[in-house]
Amino acid sequence: MDIVSLTIDQVQDGLRARRFSAVELATAALEFARDENPKTNAYLSFSEERALDAARHVDEKLARGEDAGPIAGVPVAVKDVIVTKGVRTTCGSKLLANYIPPFDATAVERLEAAGGIIIGKTNCDEFAMGSSNENSAFGPVRNPHALDRVPGGSSGGSAAAVAQGTAVVALGSDTGGSIRQPASFCGVVGVTPTYGRVSRYGLTAFASSLDHIGPFGRSVRDAALLLNVIAGRDPLDSTSAEAPVPDYLTHLDGKVKGLKLGLPREYLRDLTSESGNLIGKAIETLKKLGCDVRDITLPTTDYAIACYYVIATAEASSNLARYDGVRYTFRSSSSENLNDMYRNTRGEGFGAECKRRIMLGTYVLSAGYYDAYYLKAQKVRGLIARDFSNAFAKVDAIVAPVSPFPAFKIGEKIGDPMAMYLSDIYTITGDLAGIPCMSVPCGKTTGGLPVGMQILAKHFDEARMFRLADAFERTGGAQN
Amino acid sequence: MKITEEQVRYVADLANLKLTDDEVRKFQADLNEILVHFDRLNEIETSQFDPMAQVLYEAEETATLRPDRERPGLGNELALANAPLASSGYFKVPEVIKR
Predicted ipTM of the assembly:
0.94
What is the mean pLDDT of the segment spanning B22-29? Answer: 97
Is residue A255 a contact partner of residue A467, using CB atoms and an 8 Å limit? yes
Q: Nearest-CA residue of chain B relative to A309?
A: B38
Tens-digit pLDDT profile for residues A2-37: 889 999 999 999 999 999 999 999 999 999 999 999
**In this model, does residue A407 exceed pLDDT 70?**
yes
Report the alpha-carbon distance of residue A442 to residue A480 in Å, rounded.
6
**A159 CB contacts (<8 Å, ≥6 apart)?**
A151, A152, A170, A172, A179, A182, A183, A185, A186, A188, A190, A216
Identify the CA nearest to A180 among candidates A353, A403, A410.
A403
- Residue A273: predicted pLDDT: 83
Q: What percent of chain B has pLDDT above 70?
A: 95
Please tell me whether the peptide bond between A154 and the residue prior to it is cis, using omega within 30 degrees of 0. yes
Residue A336 pLDDT grade (very low, low, confident, very high; cuts 50, 70, 90): confident
| Helices (H), ranges, A79-121 | 106-113
- The per-residue DSSP string of A192-235 comes to EPPTTSB--TTBPPS-TTT-EEEEEESSHHHHHHHHHHHBS--T
3-class DSSP assignment, residue A340: helix
| Cβ atoms A420, A353 nearer than 8 A | no
Chain B closest-CA separation from residue A344 CA (Å): 6
Residue of A305, A363, A458 to mutate for B, most B C-beta atoms under 10 A: A363
Q: Do A186 and A163 form a contact (C-beta atoms < 8 A)?
A: yes
**B54 — pLDDT class (breaks 50, 70, 90):** confident
Return the pLDDT at A395: 98
Query: If you average pLDDT over every residue of chain A, what do you get?
Result: 96
pLDDT tens-digit profile of A184-214?
999 999 999 999 999 999 999 999 999 999 9
**SS3 for B83?**
coil
pLDDT above 90 (res A68): yes
Residue A389 burial (CB count, 10 A)? 12
Check if A297 contacts B (Cβ < 8 Å): no
Backbone phi, then psi, for A359, in 5-degree steps?
Answer: -60, -50
Residue A127 is classified by DSSP as G
How far is Cα A388 from Cα A398, in angstroms, rounded to an integer?
9
- Summarised one tens digit per residue, pLDDT across range A359-396 is 999 999 998 999 999 999 999 999 999 999 999 999 99
User: Is the CB of B59 less than 8 angstroms away from the CB of A328?
Assistant: no
Least confidently predicted of A149-158, A168-177, A237-246, A256-265: A237-246
Single-letter code of the amino acid located at A37: N
- Provide the CA A443 distance to its chain's centre, in angstroms: 20
- Residues with Cβ within 8 Å of A372's Cβ and at least 6 positions away in sequence, in order, are none
Cα angle, residue A163 at apex, residues A87 and A143 outer, rounded to 5°: 90
Taking residues A102-107, report their average pLDDT. Answer: 97
Q: Is A102 on the interface with B (CB under 8 A)?
A: yes
Of A79, A413, A444, A458, catalytic: A79
Q: Could you count the other beta carbons within 10 Å of the beta carbon of residue B68?
A: 5
Query: Any idea which of A142-156, A176-190, B64-78 has the lowest mean pLDDT?
Result: B64-78
**Residue A442 · residue A185 · CB < 8 Å:** no
pLDDT above 80 for A65: yes
The Cα A180–Cα A103 span in angstroms is 28
For testing the chain A interface, which of B8, B20, B34 should be mutated: the one with the most A CBs within 10 Å?
B34
Residue B62's pLDDT is what? 72
Average confidence (pLDDT) over A400-423: 94
CA distances, A308 to each of A411, A421, B37, B61 (Å): 24, 10, 12, 27
Measured distance CA(A231)–CA(A214) in Å, rounded: 9
pTM confidence score: 0.97
> Is the backbone of residue A49 left (phi > 0), alpha (psi -120 to 50) or beta?
alpha
SS3 assignment, position A149: strand
Length of chain B: 99
C-alpha to C-alpha distance for A121 and A79, rounded to whole angstroms = 5
Give the mean pLDDT of A125-136: 97
Nearest 10 degrees: Cα torsion A199, A205, A208, A211: -60
For residue A477, pLDDT beyond 90: no
A21, A47, A132, A154: the active-site residue: A154
Enclosing H/E stretch for B48: none
Does the distance separating the beta carbons of A306 and B16 come in below 8 Å?
no
A379 is catalytic: no
* Contact between B17 and A358 using a beta-carbon 8 Å cutoff: yes
- Exposed, middle or buried by CB within 10 Å (0-12, 13-18, 19+), for A213? buried
From the CA of A169, how many Å to the nearest CA of chain B?
Answer: 28
Q: Which 35-74 residues of chain B touch chain A by CB within 8 A? A: 35, 37-44, 46, 49-55, 57, 59-60, 63-66, 74
Question: Does residue B57 register a pLDDT over 80?
Answer: no
What does each C-alpha distance from B19 to A210, A345, A346, A351, A361 come to in angstroms? 28, 11, 9, 11, 16
Q: Which residue of A has its CA nearest to B37?
A: A306
**What is the arithmetic mean of pLDDT over B15-31?**
97
Asked if B33 contacts A415 with a C-beta cutoff of 8 angstroms, the reply is no
Cβ of A99 within 8 Å of Cβ of B11? The answer is no
Q: In what order do the strands lie in the sheet with A437-444?
A: A43-46, A117-122, A75-79, A169-174, A212-217, A189-192, A437-444, A450-457, A397-401, A260-264, A292-296
pLDDT of residue B58: 67
